[in-house]
A and B are shown apart, each in its own frame.
Chain A
């Protein structure tokens, strides 16, 4: 193959250019991570006795496992809401004029331009007892006493879905933009209805974007310490708060380190499921 040497050159350039970032990650991500892992292998807070006690404690404790489970479930719920609400927006984006496209992009990006704290506080105002939702429902006579929305799982899911929405919509817009519009027409002219076209053509071809969006949203939702604690309150415990409590309030660093490692592995497992699906979907889309 005559082109082989040239392409090898391209790869080696790529590696060279990636070196600064790789070094940065090695120094400021991999090294602390190893230190964390080392710390988690100690049975006492002073870090003198080696052992797997912290992991055993977590994995045999129904309460801790419950916290892990509810956190992973929270991520799934938020991701589902984002996908269901985000997909139509991305789909619409591909089918309207450039001026409306600008407006949609602006609306999608706007949340990213304000800090998570501000966005979350806005949700406290919306969901509170005298918040917009309760005030409207009460003035319409739908309810007599205010609904409890703040400090509930429902509130957390809704707030997180809004806060993380851009992470879902942007990959979807890109993926849908890559689909040749002629495929729609072809499908229709061959006799498929619009729903059938959607499920058999558009959805499969957009899967890489769906997977990317889901991965990003999921990872962001389960680690969103600020939104989880401000909207969920002190009695709804998710992994980030559990970790903070152990590390900061109780100074139990080895257990906190073990929680981090377990959490990291759980997230990696979920993300690798997503990427496997992504790889499969690429095969499907190409076929």
Chain B
């Protein structure tokens, strides 16, 4: 049982990862079960001795929660054929990252003729009432806040500058979406013209004909490691391991990188191509240079306080 995310991730995993795994493992049975990270954690927590899920997929925040609650096993690195080929940021001993999620600037090219280049562009007076952001419930919203803090001299431990910056952003804010998915609707409806956005979500919108473009800001695009874990006490440990191995192979990652999925690979043997090469990075070296990774351990420590502060201060 592999718990994946809902939506486009599920489609991608069903079409590419599952067939690859079955081919490599004599048609071993596996079930894809799309659910949110928090639900995965809750389900495993409810039956620790005999977990209903063998493989979990997590954003950086929930991954640390799962590790903190002792729900996952260390990845058998020495047995793995592909782990060493992953770029160093993806090598996580508690569960490697089979792909990255990338957050940059999203804009409507019909309304904004000069592409934005920096996070600071969101504050430009010409975007009065045109900017959308999300609240801190999402990984995207929280990661973006930290990036803004860094831009203004803060860090993962100090986001005060970001909250000050948000105060200045208020005249420009058209919407604070409850989740990143809602931002997509707002672009479609012309409610906003520019916002921080997830690379993959934007590609889906683009494919549906919505006028949106993605640019990596010059401060660096925010990269989230989405990590994949063997659940502790899994009765199918061996298959779980093989399943993760399949997700790390250059073949699967290349297939997932191609349209329509455009999922950013982590195996350095994968040659970047297509849209990813065009807007993100041509190779691993450029990727490392252009991506910003954040310290989610530090972020998690204060995240609840930030959410509380965001609740109180951000009213438009």
A residues sitting closer than 8 Å to B (CB atoms) are: 63, 121, 124-125, 128-131, 148, 150-151, 229-230, 232-235, 237, 241-242, 244-245, 248-252
Please judge, given known A-B contacts A151-B175, A234-B176, A248-B38, whether A128 and B182 are in contact too, CB under 8 Å: no
A237 closest partner in B (C-beta): B311
In this assembly, does B65 line the interface, its C-beta being within 8 Å of a C-beta of chain A?
A: yes
Q: Is the CB of A252 within 8 A of B304?
A: yes
A234–B141 Cα gap in the complex (Å)?
A: 11
Count of chain B residues with a beta carbon within 8 Å of a chain A beta carbon: 32
B193 to chain A, nearest CB (A): 10
A-B contact pairs, 29 of them (CB 8 A): A63-B311, A63-B312, A121-B185, A124-B185, A124-B189, A129-B174, A129-B189, A129-B191, A130-B190, A130-B191, A131-B189, A148-B129, A148-B174, A150-B191, A151-B174, A151-B176, A229-B182, A230-B182, A233-B177, A234-B134, A234-B135, A234-B175, A237-B311, A244-B137, A245-B137, A249-B137, A249-B138, A249-B303, A251-B38
Please give, as numbers and ranges, the residues of chain A lying within 8 Å of B134 by CB-CB distance. 234
A249–B134 Cα gap in the complex (Å)?
A: 14
In this assembly, does B28 line the interface, its C-beta being within 8 Å of a C-beta of chain A?
A: no
- How many CB-defined contacts (below 8 Å) exist between A and B? 78
A63 to chain B, nearest CB (A): 5
B13 to chain A, nearest CB (A): 22
Return the 6 tightest CB-CB contacts between A and B, nearest first.
A234-B135, A128-B189, A235-B176, A229-B178, A234-B176, A130-B190
Please judge, given known A-B contacts A150-B175, A248-B38, A252-B304, whether A233 and B189 are in contact too, CB under 8 Å: no
In this assembly, does B207 line the interface, its C-beta being within 8 Å of a C-beta of chain A?
A: no
Please give, as numbers and ranges, the residues of chain B lying within 8 Å of A229 by CB-CB distance. 178-179, 182
A249–B185 Cα gap in the complex (Å)?
A: 22
B315 closest partner in A (C-beta): A235
B residues sitting closer than 8 Å to A (CB atoms) are: 36, 38, 41, 65, 129, 133-138, 141, 174-179, 182, 185, 189-191, 303-304, 307-308, 311-312, 314-316
B41 closest partner in A (C-beta): A251
A151–B175 Cα gap in the complex (Å)?
A: 7
A245 to chain B, nearest CB (A): 6
The answer, among B137, B191, B315, for a CB contact under 8 Å with A128, is B191
A62 closest partner in B (C-beta): B312
B179 to chain A, nearest CB (A): 8
Q: Is the CB of A234 within 8 A of B303?
A: no
A206–B29 Cα gap in the complex (Å)?
A: 61
Among B134, B177, B303, the one with the most A-chain Cβ atoms within 10 Å of its Cβ is: B177
A233–B190 Cα gap in the complex (Å)?
A: 15
The answer, among A63, A124, A244, A250, for a CB contact under 8 Å with B304, is A250
Please give, as numbers and ranges, the residues of chain B lying within 8 Å of A250 by CB-CB distance. 303-304, 307
Please give, as numbers and ranges, the residues of chain A lying within 8 Å of B135 by CB-CB distance. 234-235
